[in-house]
Amino acid sequence: MTKFETLSPDFEEWPHNWMGLDEDLAYGKKLLEEFRPFAEHLVSSGLSDKTIKKHLTNLWLLGGELIRKVSDEEEYDITPRTLLSDSIDSYGGPSCRHLHSETEEKSFDSTCKKLYKYMNNNS
């Protein structure tokens, strides 16, 4: 088992966890393809396992929010890459309904900022 698989054994199941409608599953799998290089980068970056897990949890939350947005607005024609680019920036990410404290929001935004920087440096 790789370090990535050890730190995120359920990574491949994320789209199933995010889905509300059948259409969400295929979109979620495409979104996961966008997340994978960043997630693997985190694992190989020398960060502590605890920090990596925090970022992976935040990435999972981001995916759930993005799937909810696409599903609610029936915008399945927007590419996951475009949705990501439209949803994160150098300040953070979208509002996340599962965050209940300023500390959680700062952590989530930190992950979104890292993802934004990674996407802009590796596109």
Could you count the other beta carbons within 10 Å of the beta carbon of residue 83? 19
- Average pLDDT for residues 45-72, to the nearest whole number? 95
- The answer to whether the Cα torsion of 29, 100, 83, 49 is positive or negative is negative
Separation of CA 16 from chain center:
14
Element (H, E) at 64: helix 49-73
Torsional class of 91: left (φ above 0), alpha (ψ -120 to 50), beta (otherwise): alpha
93-104 tens-digit pLDDT: 999 999 999 999
Q: How many independent structural domains does the chain possess? A: 1
| Residue 19 within any structural domain of the chain | yes
β strands within the chain, DSSP E: none
| Residue 15 within any structural domain of the chain | yes
pLDDT of residue 2: 83
pLDDT band at 3 (very low <50, low <70, confident <90, very high): confident
38: containing domain: 9-121
| Residue 1 within any structural domain of the chain | no
For 91, residues 6+ apart whose C-beta sits below 8 A from its C-beta are 109, 113
Asked whether the beta carbons of 39 and 4 are under 8 A apart, the reply is yes
| Residue 3 within any structural domain of the chain | no
Structure-model confidence comparison of residues 65 and 2, the more confident one: 65
Model pTM score:
0.95
Mean pLDDT, the chain, integer? 94
